[in-house]
Structure 1
Amino acid sequence: MKRAPAALVAAFASALALHAAQPAAAAPEPARDVLEGEVVYHIFQRSFRDSNGDGHGDLEGVRQALPYLEKLGVTAILMTPLYPGRTYHNYFATDFEGIDPRYGTRADLQRLIADAHAKGIKVFLDMEFQYLAEGHPWWSAAMADRASPYNDWMLWDDRAAGIAEEGPFGLREIRHFGRDTHGVTTVALKHPDVRAYFDRYLAGWVDPNGDVQFDDGVDGFRLDHMMDDLDSKGRLTNLFEEFWNPAIAKLRATNPDLAFLAEQWDWKYGEDYLARADVSAVFAFPIHDAIRKFDAAALAQAITRTGEVTPPGKTQMIFAENHDVSRIASDPGISPERLRTAAALMFLLRGTPIVYYGQELGMRGAYDAGYTTDERDIPMREAFKWAATDAAPGQALWYRRPGERYWDQRYARDHDGVSVEEEDGNPASLLNHYRKLFALRAAHPALARGTQRVLEAPAGMLAVERVFDGERLVIVANLTGAPAAVPALAGDGPDLISGERKPLRAWQTALYRPAR
Structure 2
Amino acid sequence: MKLAAITGMFCIAVTAVAATWHLKKSERKNGTGDEIIYHIFQRSFFDSNGDEHGDLNGIRQKLDYLQELGFTSVLCTPLYESIYYHNYFAIDFQKIDPKYGTLQDYLVLIKELHKRGMKFYMDMETQYVTEDSKWWKDAYGNPKSSYTDYILWDDHENKKPSTIVSGLTELKGYDGVTHKITTANLNSEKSKAYNDKLFSYWLDPNHDGKFDDGVDGFRIDHMMDNLDNKGALPHLFDTFWNPLFAKLRAINPKIKIVAEQANWFSLGLDYLDKGGVDEVFGIRLAYAIRLFRKDLFMANADSTLTMNPPGKQQIVFIENHDMSRYSSAVSGDIRKLKIGCALNLLMGGTPAIYYGQELGMTGASQNFGPTDANEIPERQAFDWYANAQGKGMAYWYKQKGEHKDQFNDDKPNDGISLEEERKDTNSLFNYYKAMIRLRRSNSAITKGTYKTVDNDNDKVFSFIRRDREKAVVVVVNLSDKDQVAKVDVPGLVGKKVSVFLGKDMPVVSEGKLNLSLAAYGIGAWVVE
- Output the TM-score relative to the length of structure 1: 0.90
Residues 373-382 or 385-394, more deviating: 385-394
CA–CA distance in structure 1, aligned partners of residues 437 and 404 of structure 2: 35
CA distance in 1, matches of 2:80, 2:55: 13
Distance in 2 (CA, whole Å) between partners of 1:62 and 1:159 is 46
Residue 500 of structure 1 deviates from its aligned partner by 4.5
Structure 1 residues 402 and 236: alpha-carbon distance in aligned structure 2, compared to 1, 3 A threshold? closer
Gap regions ≥5 residues in structure 1: 1-27
User: Is 1:191 paired with 2:188?
Assistant: yes
Q: Is the 8 A contact 2:143 2:158 kept in 1?
A: no
Residue type of the partner of 1:177?
Y
In 1: Cα distance, 2:57 partner to 2:497 partner: 46
- Residue aligning to 1:327: 325
**Which amino acid is the alignment partner of residue 467 of structure 2?**
F
Amino acid at match of 1:497: L
Which one of the candidate residues 408, 414, 417 is aligned to 1:416?
Answer: 414
- CA separation in 1, counterparts of 2:121 and 2:452? 32
* Match 1:200 to one of 197, 200, 211: 197
**Cα distance, 1:450 vs. partner?**
0.4
Task: Tell me the residue number matched to 1:48.
Answer: 45
Q: CA separation in 2, counterparts of 1:408 and 1:374?
A: 14
Aligned pairs for 1:366-405 (under 5 A) are 366-401=364-399, 405=403
> Counterparts of 1:496 and 1:395 in 2: how far apart (Å)?
37
How big is the shift at 1:163?
Answer: 3.2
Letter in 1 for 2:364: A
For 1:138, the equivalent position in structure 2 comes to: 135
Task: State the AA in 1 paired with 2:502.
Answer: S
Q: Deviations along 1:332-389, whole A, 9 cap, x unmatched?
A: 5551100100111111112111101000000000000133210111100000011112
Please give the alpha-carbon distance, in whole angstroms, between the structure 1 residues aligned to 2:523 and 2:254: 34
Cα root mean square deviation, aligned: 2.2
Q: Distance in 1 between matches of 2:168 and 2:343?
A: 37
Tell me the SS of whatever aligns to 1:503.
Answer: strand
* Secondary structure of the structure 1 residue equivalent to 2:80: coil
Equivalents in 2 of 1:247, 1:409: separation in Å?
40
- Tell me how far apart the structure 2 counterparts of residues 351 and 460 of structure 1 sit (CA, whole Å): 25
Distance 1:409 1:151, change over 3 A: closer
* 1:360 match: secondary structure: helix
Matched residue, 2:360: 362
Residues 1:478 and 2:477 aligned together:
yes
Distance 1:31 1:112 in 2: 35
User: Match for 1:453 among 451, 454, 459?
Assistant: 451
What is the aligned partner in structure 2 of residue 504 from structure 1?
Answer: 517
Which of 326, 342, 345 matches 2:343?
A: 345
Q: Does 1:169 align with 2:166?
A: yes
1:109 aligned residue: 106
Structure 1 distance, partners of 2:341, 2:348, is 13
Q: Give the number of the structure whose alpha-carbon radius of gyration is greater.
A: 1
| Change beyond 3 A, Cα 1:333–1:181 | closer
Structure 1 residues 117 and 484, CA gap change in structure 2 (3 angstroms): same
User: Counterpart of 2:221?
Assistant: 224
Deviation at 1:303, TM superposition (A): 1.5
Of 396-405 and 294-303, deviating more is 396-405
Alpha-carbon distance, 1:460 to partner = 1.6
The one of 226, 233, 237 equivalent to 1:236 is 233
Query: Is 2:30–2:448's contact at 8 Å kept on the other side of the alignment?
Result: no
- In 1, the alpha carbon distance for the partners of 2:398 and 2:201 equals 35
Deviation at 1:161, TM superposition (A): 7.1
CA contact (8 A) 1:436 1:497 kept: no
AA in 2 matched with 1:275: D
Map Cα deviations across residues 303-346 of structure 1 (whole Å, 9 max, x no partner).
22223430111100111011001001112555110010011111
1:276-322 Cα distance to aligned partner (Å, 9 max, x none): 01101011112111101011111111122223430111100111011
Equivalenced residues, count? 488
Q: Judge conservation of contact 2:36–2:72 (CA < 8 Å) in 1.
A: yes
Equivalent position to 2:89, from 80, 88, 92: 92
Greater RCO, 1 or 2 (C-alpha within 8 Å, sep 6+): 2
Structure 1 residues 206 and 403: alpha-carbon distance in aligned structure 2, compared to 1, 3 A threshold: closer
Which protein has the bigger helix share? 1
**Deviation of the 1:48 alpha carbon:** 0.4
Question: Is 1:251 the counterpart of 2:264 in the alignment?
Answer: no
Q: Secondary structure at the match of 1:282?
A: strand
Matches within 5 A, 1:23-34: none
Q: Do 2:30 and 2:447's aligned partners in 1 also have CA atoms closer than 8 Å?
A: no
Partner SS, residue 517 of structure 2: coil
Partner deviation per Cα, 1:206-259 (whole Å, 9 max, x = no partner) = 100101111111100110000000000011011111111111111111212111
Q: Equivalents in 1 of 2:112, 2:147: separation in Å?
A: 39
CA distance in 2, matches of 1:416, 1:292: 23
SS in 2 for 1:243: helix
* Superposed displacement of residue 488, structure 1: 5.2
Quick one: structure 1 residues 410 and 495, their matched pair in 2 at CA, closer, same or farther if it must change by over 3 Å?
farther
- 1:114 deviates by 1.2
Q: CA deviation at 1:29?
A: 11
CA distance in 2, matches of 1:493, 1:29: 28
- Is contact 1:168–1:185 with CA below 8 Å preserved after alignment? no
Distance 2:282 2:360 in 1: 21
Does the 8 Å contact 1:142/1:149 carry over to 2? yes
**Aligned equivalent of 2:261:** 264
- Deviation at 1:178? 2.5
Tell me, in whole angstroms, the C-alpha distance in 2 between the residues paired with 1:281 and 1:234. Answer: 26
Counterparts of 1:204 and 1:500 in 2: how far apart (Å)?
54
Q: Aligned partners of 1:475 and 1:488: how far apart in 2?
A: 10
Moved more, 468-477 or 498-507: 498-507
Q: Which runs of 5+ in 2 are unaligned?
A: 1-24, 506-514
Classify 1:402/1:208 alpha carbon distance in 2 versus 1 (closer, same or farther; 3 Å): closer
Any conservation in 1 of the 2:80–2:94 contact (CA below 8 Å)? yes
CA deviations 1:458-480 (Å, max 9, x no partner) are 21211111111211110111111
What is the DSSP-based 3-state SS (H/G/I as helix, E as strand, rest coil) of the residue aligned with 2:336? helix
1:215 paired to 2:219: no
Q: Deviations over 1:112-144 (max 9, x none)?
A: 111111111101011101001111111111027
SS in 1 for 2:95: coil
